[in-house]
Structures are given as C-alpha cells and as structure tokens.
Chains A and B, each alone.
Chain A
C-alpha cells in the first residue's frame, strides 16, 4: 500500500470520521494537545536551564532529572496521542504541509539531541552532578534543545494557520455542549455549516 492510500484509509477510519463529525471533539483534542505540550516544554526548559547554569544551579542534576522527566514523558505521551488523533482527521493535508514536515523533522532532531547527551555528558553525571554548571557538551545540547522545542511550538501553530480549509473537510454536523446542557441531541446552537476554524 502506498503512503497516500494509507493516509486516505486513516482519514476514512471510524475514529477520524467521529472526530470530524463532532463540533467539539477536535477543539477538545487540540486544547489537550496544548496542555500536554506546555508541560513538555515547561519541564524540559527547567532541565535545560539547570544544564546551562542559568537556574537551579544548587541542586543535584540527577535528583532534578528523576523528579521531573517522568512528568515530561507522561505529558509527551498525551501530546503525541492527541497529535495523532488530529492527524488522522485530515492526514493527507497534514502530510503534505511544509510546517508539519518541519515539525516532525525537529521532533526527530530533539530525539537525536537527547541521544547525544546520553552518549557524552550523560555518561559522566557523577562528576558534575552537584557542580553549578555542566560540561560544554551538555550546555550545547541544552541550548539546542531550547531552540528546537521553541521552533516546534512555532511550527505547530503555523500548521493550524496553513491547514485550515486546505482540505475538503466535511462540514461538522455533530453535537455541541448545548446538547449536553439541554439534553436535546442534534439541535446544535452553533452554525453547523461553518467549517472548523483551526486558528
């Protein structure tokens, strides 16, 4: 199966259809994605600034990493999951989008960057764990990490601005919060003919 056919089948899946047809599922998934990514970046930035010697310099790096990184990974899982859900609703459009591709490339780079840390300064933590400043290799990784993650956030926001109405998105005809509040399914208070505005 070629990639476009595969993406098409993702779009046609029951889950993707369900999200597209709902007025509130996509907004809720996207909001959760933002909550996840703010925790990812917020916690990574704390670690990076420790490595750069900007903040938390009096603390053990090992202790900070074990305190914080589990939350980073939990938040990353949430972000990847919600990101995948958004992707399948309009897979071909995202796949061909320049900012989406750049964002995926940057995510791979952040992984490689992490690997570089593990192979260099990560091996000698016992030597600099309590020192206010980490070795040059760790500082380079930390600076690059901050730059990569900030770029990822910018790319993510630009995807929203460039994919809106780019594809043939079926007008949502699902329910909204009114239906929960009033218990009258199908009677939406919004404008069901307006396509979702991903901005």
Chain B
C-alpha cells in the first residue's frame, strides 16, 4: 500500500494538486464537509422518522423519497471529493489507520442505507405498519446514525493518526 501510495503521488493529477496545495486541498476538504453534512442530515431525518421523534406527519415512504435522493447524491459527491483527496495526498490517506477503519464503516453505512432504500418501496405496507414499530429496527436506526457519526470523527482523525499509537501504520514507518 505504501508503494502504491508513493506511485500515486507521482501521477499527473496528484502532482498538480500538490503544487496548488495552498487552496485545492482546503477547498476539496470544505466541499467534503458540506457533503457529509447533507449525508448526516438526511440519515438523521430518516432515523428520527423511524424512531417517531420527528416527521410523523409524513409516511416513511414520503420521508425516504424526500431524503433518499439527497443521501445518494451527497454520497456520490463524497466519493468524488474523497478520491481527489486520496490522489492529492496518497501517503497521508492510504497509510493511515483512521482512513481504513473509516472506509470499512462507510461501506457498512452505505450497505445498510442501500438495503433500506431498496426494500422499503417493495414492502411499503409491511414497513409502515409493522417493521417501523419493531424495537430491533429502531435500534438499527440509532446504530446507523452512530456509524455515520463515527465516520465523521474518523475522517477528522486522519489528520491525527498518532492517537492510535502503534495501530497507526505511520508510527511504524
């Protein structure tokens, strides 16, 4: 991975970003934060609806058709800006414990969201009438929210990978 990161840092786009490091990286990072705000905001609203703490004037389906597309769109923006940041600073990102733990949670969070957004329209009545009232589904809503919170924390910890001590690959290098 270290070798791959070092090779990536010699590619044209990477060199370009590095040479304009003064403004490109902060700009991409800021867009990435605006994007994750849309992600977390959308997840938050859907989870609050499942918990019955907000948006109860709407059906579950109405809630997901309002926030689902924004969640999907923002996740695509995150992927694009995320890839640019990896290309811009390959070693900082790829040789990093926080980064890989974050990627695992992103995959998990996206998988849960995808399964939910795909199955809801197919079994709408079941979801609206029984599933949404199940304690396990409500717990899963809280867990999903916490996964995205951890993703944000780990994203910021990429800059501080030393907090993981010997778990950080940078500490060994």
Which residues of A come within 8 Å of B, CB atoms?
Answer: 23-24, 26-28, 30-32, 34-35, 37-43, 45-46, 55-56, 59-60, 63, 67-68, 71, 150, 153-154, 157-158, 161, 176-179, 181, 188-191, 194, 196-199
Contact = CB atoms under 8 A, between A and B. Distances in A.
A55 B157 contact: no
A37 B162 contact: no
A181 B165 contact: yes
B160 A197 contact: yes
B54 A38 contact: no
Interface residues of B, number: 39
A59 B36 CA distance: 25
Contacts of B164: 176-178, 189
B83 interface: no
Contact of B42 (A30, A35, A40, A42): A42
Main secondary structure of the interface of A (DSSP, over half): helix
A197 B171 CA distance: 15
Given A34-B152, A154-B30, 14 more contacts: A28-B153, A28-B163, A42-B38, A42-B42, A43-B41, A45-B38, A67-B48, A71-B44, A157-B33, A177-B165, A189-B165, A189-B168, A191-B171, A198-B159
A32 B36 CA distance: 14
Contacts of B109: none
Contact of B162 (A32, A38, A191): A191
Contacts of A67: 48, 54-55
B166 interface: yes
B160 A38 contact: no
B54 A177 contact: no
Interface string B140-173: 0000000001001101110110111111100100
Nearest to A155: B30
Contacts of A55: 66, 70
17 contacts: A23-B162, A26-B160, A31-B153, A31-B157, A37-B37, A38-B36, A41-B37, A41-B41, A45-B37, A45-B41, A56-B66, A71-B54, A158-B26, A177-B163, A178-B165, A189-B165, A189-B167
B152 A31 contact: yes
Nearest to A198: B159
Contacts of B39: 42
B57 A46 contact: no
A23 B41 contact: no
A38 B30 CA distance: 11
Contacts of B153: 28, 31-32, 34-35
Nearest to B42: A42
Nearest to B40: A38
Contact of B57 (A35, A60, A150): A60
